[in-house]
Amino acid sequence: MQNTISSIPSGARILITRLSAIGDVLHATSVAHNLRRLRPDCHITWLVSPPADILLRGNPDIDRLLVWDRRRLDRAFAKKNFREVWTCLKEARALLQTHPYDIALDIQGLFLSGLLTRLSGAPRRIGIHERHEGNFLFMTEMAPDIPDRHKIRRYMTALQPLGIRPQDFQPGLVLRLPPELDGFAAAFWHRRGIEPGNPGRPILIVNTRTTWPDKNWAPESFGFALRELPESVQIVFSGAPGDRPFIEQTRKYINRPTLSIAGETSLTELAALLRSANLLLTGDTGPLYIAEAVGTPTLSLWGPTHPDIYGPLTPGHHFILSPHSCTACCKTKCRHRNNACMNAIRPEIVAEALRNLLLP
């Protein structure tokens, strides 16, 4: 088969499998977007699991969205309920086989995603090189491995067997907000006394927590950095309901009014609020990529992970890397058992970066 875009059959029916998580699903939208841009006549279906599905609804690059909840299967595995596991997989197969596919792209690289890709019945199945074992068993071919560490560029390798070259790639995440959110941000801020669009009163949204405990910066560190900002900066804390205790710890160090909206918004509502903000301060977690997708500048803090692997590829994003010697270990648990790399980020460095980004 020739290594040209024309090697993709006209009107090809293509399945993308990327089930989760929020940041990774948004990263994978680059695959769908570049595929649509370079071969607009193809038909793209995406298999996804909640809650990440909400980020793909309305995506103009996706023709059909298949939603299968992997959390039910994960719970069944944890309880060793293999009858339920089998039922979940049968339901996935029935969902996938409602439509035929010419090509399936596994952008997750798990054993599970590989199995689901095989259950699709696509005769051509392309996998990516990841660290997970067993995925290749379900593929008819593997994308080339590349030295570049960045996840998005590694996801994009799935298109190389289809003739789409690395130099054809255009970076950028895709997130479309539903029409019913038009005007949401303005009304939301008004109810809470926040002034959007005031050049003298920038809005800083702060996301204090991540899904990995060892990617979290300490509440007191956030507090020490934020209390250095002038009162003209409107500080708003976002997050999940479980983040509220950590936010309250942070607020104790600031000694001036701030606002917490943790647990009050859906992912798309948060995206609408981020779009109206001046800056997001966060660790390496889903809201960072939501902000990138809606065009909001960010300042992100990095310890066990690295922006060369996960960070935004588009302009307007700024990174503070831990100076610790074992930064970017990519381990979910710190081998020093004290969150050493994140604790090595000094609050005064973050405060200075915030002032430079927010104030004239």
- Residues 80-107: pLDDT tens digits? 999 999 999 999 999 999 999 999 999 9
Q: What is the pLDDT of residues 27-71, one digit of tens each?
A: 999 999 999 999 999 999 999 999 999 999 999 999 999 999 999
Distance in angstroms (rounded) separating the CA atoms of residues 205 and 260? 9
Distances (CA, A) of 223 to 76, 202, 226, 284, 355: 41, 18, 5, 18, 15
Q: Determine what percent of the chain falls in helix, strand and coil, rounding each to the nearest 5.
A: 40, 15, 45
* Residue 168 pLDDT: 94
* Residue 4 pLDDT: 43
Q: Do domains 5-168 and 179-358 have the same CATH topology?
A: yes
* Residue 1 pLDDT: 36
What integer is the mean pLDDT of 128-152? Answer: 92
| pTM of structure | 0.93
Q: What is the pLDDT of residues 159-176, one digit of tens each?
A: 999 999 999 999 999 999
40 Cβ contact partners less than 8 Å away, ≥ 6 residues apart: none
- Which of 336, 356, 340, 359 lies closest to 348, judged by CA? 356
Distance in angstroms (rounded) separating the CA atoms of residues 10 and 287? 37
What integer is the mean pLDDT of 236-241? Answer: 97
When pLDDT is cut at 50, 70 and 90, the band that residue 3 belongs to is: very low
Distance in angstroms (rounded) separating the CA atoms of residues 61 and 8? 17
Which residue ranges make up each domain of the chain? Answer: 5-168, 179-358
- Which of 328, 321, 320, 322 lies closest to 343, judged by CA? 322
Helix or strand or coil: residue 114?
helix
pLDDT over 70 (residue 6): no
Q: For 44-48, 132-136, 319-323, which range has the lowest pLDDT when averaged over its residues?
A: 132-136
Name the class of domain 179-358: alpha beta
pLDDT over 70 (residue 5): no
Q: What is the pLDDT of residues 241-290, one digit of tens each?
A: 999 999 999 999 998 999 999 999 999 999 999 999 999 999 999 999 99
Superfamily of domain 5-168: Glycogen Phosphorylase B; (3.40.50.2000)
pLDDT over 80 (residue 315): yes
When pLDDT is cut at 50, 70 and 90, the band that residue 332 belongs to is: confident
When pLDDT is cut at 50, 70 and 90, the band that residue 360 belongs to is: confident
* Residue 53 pLDDT: 97
* Residue 279 pLDDT: 98
pLDDT over 80 (residue 2): no
For all residues of the chain together, what is the average pLDDT? 94
- Strand order of the sheet with strand 124-127? 64-67, 43-48, 13-17, 103-106, 124-127, 141-142
* Residue 325 pLDDT: 84
What integer is the mean pLDDT of 188-208? Answer: 96
